[in-house]
Amino acid sequence: MAVINRTPDSFYDKGRHYSLSNALRAVDAAVADGADIVDIGGVKAAPGPEIAVSQEIERVVPLITEIRRLHPTIVISVDTWRSEVAAASAEAGANLVNDAWGGYDPDLAKVAARYGCGLVCTHAGTLVPRTEASGLNYPDVVSDVKSRVADLADRAVRLGVAEESILIDPGHDFAKNTRHSLEVTRRIDEIVAVGWPVLVAVSNKDFIGESLGLPVTERLEGTLAVISLCAWMGVRIFRVHNVREARRAIDMVSVVMGKKQPLIAKRATN
């Protein structure tokens, strides 16, 4: 899953994909590099200026429309917590609603059901969208993750979202400090065992930066290490900024695990 943020203030690309033309070029590159899904966002997750619903729609819908025209078979995800934005995006051709704020808008799952879209059910604790967590205290953060995402997934099914279209995301760095995100990573197999396909969004995040003492521009190697571990433990989808590198890392894990064969095997085996 390639991250395409059409925002002027994204923590990673710093507005590089804000213009429609730049965003479309980024999509073309991501598809060429091996992305199966493109995730389109119109509001950054971190605190910042208020973005109206209409403004978010203006950012994401024209891009989704063009992606659907240019890449008719790609899966298009919209990263939003607002049901109005999800509905407009689905009308434009989005297949998946990436709810990074854990069901804050209760109508979001209803929109996914109405349009036949998939839904990402994310653990975000009790955070209000675009706020920073403070005073976090989980007796067992992984147990909390499993309980909340399972509840969100079950509710989505009751509302009509197809079971095979639901993903769960443990929400690294959402309502979690670095130690929480590391614990979630170590025990990601327990979250996989909940039964829904797992998506992780760890790309260049602060828990990697704090672990290695590195700025956001130098977190690629840490990101690849984390997604490789997660792939080994059964995670299915990886939301990333660096598609080519991530694709190669995940494919290598698959070969080591015996799920894929080497593309070339010329060396003598005797």
Rounded to a whole number of angstroms, the distance between the first and last alpha carbons of the chain is: 40
Residue 263 within any structural domain of the chain: no
Tell which residue, 141, 143, 86, 96, has the closest CA to residue 120.
96
Within 8 A by CB and 6+ apart from 32, the residues are: none
Per-residue pLDDT at 134 exceeds 80: no
Q: Which range marks the domain in which residue 149 is found?
A: 2-257
pLDDT digits (tens, 9 = 90+) for 16-60: 888 999 999 999 999 999 999 999 999 988 888 899 999 999 999
Rounded Cα gap, residues 126 and 111, in angstroms: 22
Helix axes 141-159, 178-186, angle to 10 degrees: 70
Which CATH number goes with the domain that contains 225? 3.20.20.20
Per-residue pLDDT at 270 exceeds 80: no
Per-residue pLDDT at 133 exceeds 80: no
Q: What is the pLDDT of residue 206?
A: 97
One-letter amino acid identity for 64? I
Within 8 A by CB and 6+ apart from 119, the residues are: 96, 97, 99, 108, 109, 112, 156, 161, 165, 166, 167
Residue 101 within any structural domain of the chain: yes
Residue with tokens 């710093």: 14
Residue 163 within any structural domain of the chain: yes
Residue 129 within any structural domain of the chain: yes
Tell which residue, 130, 102, 100, 113, has the closest CA to residue 200.
100
* Main-chain phi, psi angles of 193, to 5 degrees: -70, -10
Question: pTM of the predicted model, to two decimals?
Answer: 0.94
Residue 158 within any structural domain of the chain: yes
Q: What is the pLDDT of residue 136?
A: 82
Residue 23 within any structural domain of the chain: yes
Instruction: Write the DSSP assignment of 52-115 as a string of letters.
Output: -HHHHHHHHHHHHHHHHHH-TTSEEEEE-S-HHHHHHHHHHT--EEEETTTTSSTTHHHHHHHH
Per-residue pLDDT at 130 exceeds 80: no
Q: Which two tokens stand for residue 193?
A: 């065992």
Within 8 A by CB and 6+ apart from 185, the residues are: 172, 202, 226, 229, 230
To the nearest whole number, what is the mean pLDDT of the chain? 95
Residue 97 within any structural domain of the chain: yes
Strands, sheet with 2-5, edge to edge from the N-terminal-most edge strand: 2-5, 37-41, 75-79, 96-99, 118-122, 166-169
Residue 14 within any structural domain of the chain: yes
Give me the number of domains the chain comprises: 1
Per-residue pLDDT at 140 exceeds 90: yes
Q: Which run of H or E residues covers position 41?
A: strand 37-41
pLDDT digits (tens, 9 = 90+) for 142-181: 999 999 999 999 999 999 999 999 999 999 999 999 999 9
